[in-house]
């Protein structure tokens, strides 16, 4: 599972990579919605956020369990059909065919869906950006492919259009990330290096750049550290300046002081952000597997039968609560 939240930022980047489509302005509803939803594909700390507080995100479970692409497919299916398919998946997860899905079988399955998603995603991107299937992709070829349109514009056109400006910032960011992913320093990326570039969250060598990018994204006043307002703004924006904040936002504020700003100086510095987004010894697949067992294990024997899973099918694959607007409206129920 790509550990990044499908944040405004990530969406932005993905969209740029694929479509170069217009960037939603930060005050667009969609962008706000996306931030507010704060899906746990965030900052490499997905699992942690996922389990933070009472907020629980079903879409996240679905993606962990099915893989991101599959989850979307399942979202379109009528309940009966998704139950039928879920049954088939359960048979596959139960590797030793003893009729029970154990924690470790579930964990291996989740790891498998993560790998599959990343492999397929990188495969798609590799084709798009490297149509002749060279051994490597050069930065120039990549840049021309994704951002070449900027070259056809005058400086003025770029400066006067905030979308174009965002693209310019993205070029810089991509360039820097490219450099970190490029292990052998030839400025070209092999498929393996390209995987690190596209999915840095899974690469130990990319942790620092992920950290840097995260801080830059949230640190709107540019002082290199994150204050509580910046922290909150990353997940929630008032639609009206004077609206009262919902309860969950208030508790996030308290959480900042209690858990994030551990040295109590009013800011999250780089090390505190690191602890937040790259928690040590956190095994995402394992905690997700535990969570799913907890949700579905009706007889509390710490393993799941097919019946138990189908009974709670919406936790695993159901389309309910995956409707974006509705999910948002019910944010405080997660």
Ligand X SMILES: *[C@@H]1O[C@H](CO)[C@@H](O)[C@H](O)[C@H]1NC(C)=O
28, 157, 229, 299: which one contacts ligand X (CB under 6 A)? 157
Burial of 87 (0-12, 13-18, 19+ CB in 10 A): middle
**Using the rule CB under 6 A, is 263 a contact of ligand X?**
no
Question: Min. distance of Cβ 178 from ligand X in angstroms?
Answer: 12
Question: Min. distance of Cβ 181 from ligand X in angstroms?
Answer: 15
Residue 168 and residue 150 in contact, taking contact as beta carbons nearer than 8 Å:
yes
DSSP 2-52: --S---HHHHHHHHHHHT-PPPPPTTSHHHHHHHHHT-S--TTTHHHHHTS
138, 190, 238, 251: which one contacts ligand X (CB under 6 A)? 138
C-alpha–C-alpha distance, residues 61 and 9, integer Å? 21
**Using the rule CB under 6 A, is 130 a contact of ligand X?**
yes
Question: Min. distance of Cβ 131 from ligand X in angstroms?
Answer: 7
If the CB atoms of residues 17 and 211 are measured against ligand X, the closer one turns out to be 17
C-alpha–C-alpha distance, residues 107 and 229, integer Å? 36
If the CB atoms of residues 143 and 237 are measured against ligand X, the closer one turns out to be 143
For ligand X, the binding residues in 6-45 under the rule CB under 6 A are 22
> Could you give the C-alpha distances from 47 to 16, 155, 214, in angstroms and in order?
26, 42, 16
**Using the rule CB under 6 A, is 137 a contact of ligand X?**
yes
DSSP 269-312: -HHHHHHHHS-TT--HHHHHHHHHHHHH-TT-SSSB-HHHHHHT
Contact stretch for ligand X (CB under 6 A) within 68-76, 159-167, 225-233, 283-291: 159-167
Contact stretch for ligand X (CB under 6 A) within 36-44, 134-142, 210-218, 274-282: 134-142
Q: Which two tokens stand for residue 327?
A: 């999910």
The backbone torsions φ and ψ at residue 98, rounded to the nearest 5 degrees and listed phi first, read -95, 10
If the CB atoms of residues 14 and 36 are measured against ligand X, the closer one turns out to be 14
The set of residues, in sequence order, having a beta carbon less than 8 Å from that of 202 and lying 6+ positions away, is 2, 3, 114, 118
The set of residues, in sequence order, having a beta carbon less than 8 Å from that of 114 and lying 6+ positions away, is 1, 2, 64, 67, 202, 285
Question: Min. distance of Cβ 160 from ligand X in angstroms?
Answer: 5
If the CB atoms of residues 159 and 283 are measured against ligand X, the closer one turns out to be 159
Contact stretch for ligand X (CB under 6 A) within 129-137, 194-202, 301-309, 324-332: 129-137
Question: Min. distance of Cβ 158 from ligand X in angstroms?
Answer: 6
> Could you give the C-alpha distances from 151 to 19, 143, 158, 161, 168, in angstroms and in order?
17, 11, 10, 14, 11
**Using the rule CB under 6 A, is 161 a contact of ligand X?**
yes
**Using the rule CB under 6 A, is 141 a contact of ligand X?**
yes
| Total site size for ligand X, rule CB under 6 A | 14
Contact stretch for ligand X (CB under 6 A) within 104-112, 125-133, 196-204, 235-243: 125-133
**Using the rule CB under 6 A, is 163 a contact of ligand X?**
yes
C-alpha–C-alpha distance, residues 267 and 255, integer Å? 13
**Using the rule CB under 6 A, is 164 a contact of ligand X?**
yes
Binding residues (CB under 6 A) for ligand X: these are: 22, 129-130, 132, 134, 137-138, 141, 153, 157, 160-161, 163-164
């Amino acid at each position: 599972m790509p550990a990044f939240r499908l944040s405004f930022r990530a969406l932005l980047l993905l969209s740029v990579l694929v479509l170069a489509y217009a960037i939603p302005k930060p005050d667009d509803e969609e962008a706000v919605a996306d931030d507010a939803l704060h899906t746990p594909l965030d900052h490499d700390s997905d699992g942690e956020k996922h389990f933070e507080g009472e907020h629980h995100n079903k879409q996240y479970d679905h993606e962990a369990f099915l893989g991101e692409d599959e989850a979307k497919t399942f979202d379109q299916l009528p309940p009966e059909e998704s139950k039928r398919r879920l049954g088939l998946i359960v048979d596959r997860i139960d590797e030793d065919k003893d009729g029970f899905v154990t924690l470790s079988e579930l964990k291996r399955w989740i790891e498998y869906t993560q790998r599959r998603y990343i492999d397929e995603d990188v495969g798609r991107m590799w084709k798009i950006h490297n149509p002749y299937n060279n051994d490597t992709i050069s930065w120039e070829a990549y840049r021309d492919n994704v951002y070449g349109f900027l070259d056809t514009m005058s400086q003025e056109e770029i400066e006067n259009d905030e979308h174009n400006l965002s693209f310019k910032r993205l070029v810089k960011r991509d360039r820097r990330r490219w450099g970190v992913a490029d292990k052998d320093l030839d400025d070209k990326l092999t498929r393996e290096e390209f995987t690190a570039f596209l999915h840095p969250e899974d690469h130990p060598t990319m942790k620092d750049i992920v950290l840097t990018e995260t801080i830059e994204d949230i640190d709107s006043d540019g002082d290199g550290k994150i204050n509580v307002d910046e922290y909150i703004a990353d997940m929630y924006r008032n639609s009206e300046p004077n609206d009262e904040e919902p309860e969950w936002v208030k508790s996030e504020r308290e959480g900042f002081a209690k858990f994030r700003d551990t040295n109590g100086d009013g800011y999250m510095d780089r090390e505190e952000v690191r602890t937040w987004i790259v928690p040590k010894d956190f095994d995402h697949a394992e905690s997700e597997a535990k969570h799913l067992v907890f949700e579905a294990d009706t007889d509390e024997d710490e393993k799941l039968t097919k019946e138990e899973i189908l009974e709670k099918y919406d936790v695993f694959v159901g389309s309910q609560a995956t409707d974006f607007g509705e999910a948002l409206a019910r944010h405080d129920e997660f």
